[in-house]
Chain A
């Protein structure tokens, strides 16, 4: 059974704190993604990674950074959390080959509240 896990389901942090969100997949997928999900806006891509130590900015990278030191792990970092980063954060992974559709496998999400 394929699995993407996220380190926390719920997180409450204060403005200005450094926040780490961790994601681990056990499917040996090359691609990993971080999205934020907000009502009425759907999923917006923050960053993605197509290989270890490789990263690309998505649509809304400002205020975020990422780290991929191992293939199975992709971390999202909020250097200085702000209230407008209160959201649901979803991690996903996918295979890189074009032989299959780019199905993405999602973790359960981390609901982050910044006060």
Chain B
């Protein structure tokens, strides 16, 4: 069935790069998303990538998509303490349904 998997925890030092990885199963996904959830808040869309793209860059964020391996990653350059949050990978399986991963908690050490 449809599934999105990601590691649950990542710890980095301030100023380093963070890389959060995700694997998905539905090869027909049109969009793949990264959402960010800050403490006490709902999810907010951080960035997304079309399935026909390999890479998307947006300021400090780089998204890489490997369709063959069904692997998606989010790289945050120069990670700051304000980047501490839970990051959710998600895929659009068509129709109205979006499948979310369990979320990766990013902890940034000052």
Which chain A residues (55-111) contact chain B, with CB distance < 8 Å?
56, 58, 90, 92, 101-109
B92 touches A102 (CB 8 A): yes
Interface of B is mostly: strand
Interface residues on A, range: 20 to 34
Cα separation A102 to B98 with both chains bound (whole Å): 8
B42 touches A31 (CB 8 A): no
Interface check A43, CB cutoff 8 A: yes
B102 touches A40 (CB 8 A): yes
Interface check A45, CB cutoff 8 A: yes
Find chain A residues with CB under 8 A from B44 CB.
Answer: 106
Which chain B residues (81-110) contact chain A, with CB distance < 8 Å?
88, 92, 96-98, 100-103
Interface of A is mostly: strand
What is B's interface to A at a CB cutoff of 8 Å? 4, 8, 31, 33, 40-45, 48, 88, 92, 96-98, 100-103
Q: Could you give 18 example pairs across A and B, Cβ below 8 Å?
A: A4-B42, A35-B100, A40-B8, A40-B102, A41-B102, A42-B4, A42-B102, A42-B103, A43-B43, A56-B96, A90-B42, A90-B43, A102-B31, A106-B42, A107-B42, A108-B40, A108-B42, A109-B42
Q: A43-B88, A50-B96, A56-B96 are in contact. List 7 more A-B contacts (CB 8 A).
A: A42-B4, A45-B97, A48-B97, A90-B43, A92-B43, A105-B45, A106-B43
The 9 A-B residue pairs whose C-beta atoms are closest, nearest first, are A106-B42, A42-B102, A43-B100, A106-B43, A101-B31, A103-B45, A42-B100, A108-B42, A107-B42
